[in-house]
Amino acid sequence: MAKQADAQADKYAATDAGHTGERLPPCEPCEALAATLNRHLRAGLCRDERRVEDLFQALALSVKEQLLDDWRATRNADNDYGRRQVAYLSLEFLMGRTLGNALLNLDLTDEARRCLTEHAVALETVEEAEHDAGLGNGGLGRLAACFLDSCASMDLAVTGYGIRYEYGMFAQKIVDGFQIERPDRWLKDGNPWEVRQAQRALTVPFFGHTESYVDRNGRRHMQWVGTQDVLAVPHDMPVPGYRNGRINTLRLWKAEATDDFDLEEFNQGDYAEAVARKNLAEQITMVLYPNDASENGKELRLRQQYFLSSASLQDLLRRYVRRFGEDFSHFARHNVVQLNDTHPAIAVPELMRLLMDVYCLEWDQAWEITCHTMAYTNHTLLPEALERWSVRTLGHILPRIMEIIFEINARYLDSVAHHWPGDGHKLAAMSIIEEGPEPQVRMAYLAIVASFSVNGVAALHTRLLKDGLFRDFYALWPERFNNKTNGVTPRRWLAHCNPRLAALLDSRLGSGWKSDLSLLSGLNAFCGDRDFIHAWREVKQANKQALAELVSRECQVQFDTAMLFDVQVKRIHEYKRQLLNILHVIHLYQKILAGDTEHMVPRCVLIGGKAAPGYAMAKLIIKLAGNVAHMVNSDPLVTPWLRFAFLPNYNVSAMERICPGTDLSEQISTAGKEASGTGNMKFMMNGALTIGTLDGANIEMMEEVGEDNFFLFGLSADEVAATKRDYRPQEFIQRSPALKAVLGLIKSGHFSLLEPGIFEPLVQAIESPWDQWMLAADFDAYCQAQHRANELYRNPERWAACSIRNTAASGRFSSDVTIANYRDEIWKGA
Residue 379 is among the residues annotated as catalytic for this protein:
yes
Q: Report the residue count for the chain.
A: 830
740 catalytic residue (yes or no): no
Rg of the chain in Å (alpha carbons)? 28
Indicate if 571 belongs to the active site.
Answer: yes
Cα angle for residues 388, 393, 394 (degrees, 5° grid) = 70
Report which residue's Cβ sits closest to ligand PLP.
679
Q: CB of residue 675 vs ligand PLP: minimum separation in angstroms?
A: 9
Nearer to ligand PLP, 140 or 156 (CB): 140
d(CA 56, CA 41) in angstroms, rounded, equals 10
Minimum gap (Å) between residue 698 Cβ and ligand PLP: 10
Nearer to ligand PLP, 142 or 496 (CB): 142
Buried b (16+ CB within 10 A) or exposed e, 95-104: bbbbbbbbbb
Residue 142 or 303 having the CB closest to ligand PLP: 142
Residue 377 vs 451, nearer CB to ligand PLP: 377
Q: How far is the CB of 739 from ligand PLP (least distance, A)?
A: 25
Judged by beta carbon, residue 285 or residue 651, the one nearer ligand PLP is 651
Angstrom distances, CA of residue 781 to CA of 175, 559, 733: 34, 27, 13
CB burial of 556-590 (b: ≥16 within 10 Å; e: otherwise) equals: ebebebebbbbbbbbbbbbbbbbbbbbbbbbbbbb
Dihedral (Cα; 673, 677, 683, 689), 10-degree rounding: 30
* Interaction site with ligand PLP (CB under 6 A): 138-139, 142, 570-571, 651-652, 655, 677-679, 682
The whole-angstrom separation of Cα 292 and Cα 573 is 9
Q: How many CA atoms lie within 13 A of 603 on its CB side?
A: 26
Q: Rounded to an integer, what distance in angstroms lies between the CA atom of residue 604 and that of residue 588?
A: 11
Active-site annotation holder among 426, 571, 805, 823 = 571
E-strand ranges in 487-620 read 564-569, 603-608
DSSP class of residue 166?
A: S
What distance in Å separates the CA atoms of residue 203 and residue 233, rounded to the nearest whole number?
Answer: 9
CB of 584 to ligand PLP, least distance (A): 18
Residue 677 CB, nearest approach to ligand PLP (Å): 4
Q: Is 678 a catalytic residue?
A: yes
CB of 465 to ligand PLP, least distance (A): 18
Smaller CB separation from ligand PLP, 41 or 239: 239
Q: Residue 338 or 669: which CB sits closer to ligand PLP? A: 669
Distance CA 752, CA 436 (A): 45
In 478-594, at which residue ranges do the beta strands (DSSP E only) sit?
A: 481-483, 564-569
Q: Tell me whether residue 173 is one of the annotated catalytic residues.
A: no
Minimum gap (Å) between residue 188 Cβ and ligand PLP: 21
Q: Which of 64, 334, 379, 577 is catalytic?
A: 379
- Nearest distance in Å: CB 136, ligand PLP: 8
Residues 6+ apart with CB under 8 A from 17: none
Residues 140, 226: contact at Cβ < 8 Å? no
Q: Choose the catalytic residue: 84, 682, 805, 823.
A: 682
What secondary structure does DSSP assign to 775-787, as a single string? HHHHHHHHHHHHH
The least distance separating ligand PLP from the CB of residue 236, rounded to whole angstroms, comes to: 24
What is the closest distance, in whole angstroms, from the C-beta atom of residue 571 to ligand PLP in the complex?
Answer: 6
Partner residues linked to 133 by β-bridges = 96
Which one, of 473, 296, 468, lies nearest residue 387 by Cα?
Answer: 296
Element (H, E) at 375: strand 374-377
Query: Least distance in Å: CB of 251 to ligand PLP?
Result: 23
User: What is the largest distance, in Å, between two alpha-carbon atoms of the chain?
Assistant: 91
Q: What is the closest distance, in whole angstroms, from the C-beta atom of residue 133 to ligand PLP in the complex?
A: 12
Written as one letter, the residue type at 607 is: I
Q: Cα torsion for 677, 679, 682, 683, to the nearest 10°?
A: -110
Provide the residue type at 464 as one letter. Answer: L
**E-assigned strand segments in 295-372:** 335-340
Nearest in space to 802 (alpha carbons), one of 691, 696, 682, 671:
691
CA–CA separation, 363 and 121 (whole Å): 62
Measured CA to CA, the distance from residue 204 to residue 229 in angstroms comes to: 5
Q: Give the nearer residue to ligand PLP in terms of CB position, either 284 or 658.
A: 658
By C-beta, is 685 or 808 nearer to ligand PLP? Answer: 685
- In the bound complex, what is the minimum distance in angstroms from residue 292's beta carbon to ligand PLP? 8
Residue of 254, 491, 576, 587 marked active site: 576
Residue number with CB closer to ligand PLP (426 or 577): 577
Q: Out of 544, 570, 573, 577, which one is annotated catalytic? A: 570
Q: Are 614 and 655 in contact (CB under 8 A)?
A: no
Spot the catalytic one: 98, 678, 693, 818.
Answer: 678
- The phi, psi pair for 235, rounded to 5°, reads -125, 110
Phi-psi region of 829 (alpha: psi -120 to 50; beta: other; left: phi over 0): left
Looking at the Cβ atoms of 247 and 819, the one nearer to ligand PLP is 819
Angle at 16 (CA atoms; ends 11, 17), nearest 5 degrees: 100
Whose Cβ is closer to ligand PLP: residue 146's or residue 432's? Answer: 146
**Closer CB to ligand PLP, 679 or 811, in the complex:** 679
Annotation marks residue 540 as catalytic? no
Burial of 259 per CB tally in 10 Å (0-12, 13-18, 19+): exposed
Q: What is the DSSP string of 805-823?
A: HHHHGGGGGBHHHHHHHHH
Task: Tell me which residues are annotated as active site.
Answer: 379, 570-571, 576, 678, 682
